[in-house]
């Protein structure tokens, strides 16, 4: 199991990368879990919020990580971190 933080690239209407998109204070960072060949986005928000979740889950099993992230996102104030919306295929 791996717990990683990343951000999908963003492009403008001319298909150019949006400047400053990888700054840690920007929104849209994702905490992802890779477990048994599957990838799942557990939370979205600022880099600092995702990093705090990642550190809070150190040493936990994949199932424990999912529960912990759900609990911590429910207690989070503001929009710094949230659970992702419904999955789209």
- Mean local confidence (pLDDT), 61-69: 96
Helix 47-56 and helix 62-75, axial crossing angle in degrees, nearest 10? 130
Boundaries of every domain in the chain: 2-76
Position 78 confidence tier, pLDDT thresholds 50, 70, 90: low
Is the pLDDT assigned to residue 20 strictly greater than 50?
Answer: yes
Instruction: Tell me how far CA of residue 26 lies from CA of 65, 71, 72, 77, in angstroms.
Output: 24, 23, 20, 17
Percent of the chain with pLDDT over 90: 67
């Amino acid at each position: 199991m791996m717990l990683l933080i990343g951000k999908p690239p963003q492009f403008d209407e001319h298909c150019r990368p949006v400047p400053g998109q990888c700054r840690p204070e920007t929104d849209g960072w994702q905490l992802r879990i890779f477990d048994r060949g599957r990838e799942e986005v557990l939370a979205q928000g600022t880099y600092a919020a995702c990093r705090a979740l990642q550190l809070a889950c150190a040493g936990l099993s994949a199932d424990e990580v999912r529960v912990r992230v759900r609990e911590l996102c429910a207690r989070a104030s503001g929009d710094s971190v949230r659970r992702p919306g419904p999955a789209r295929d």
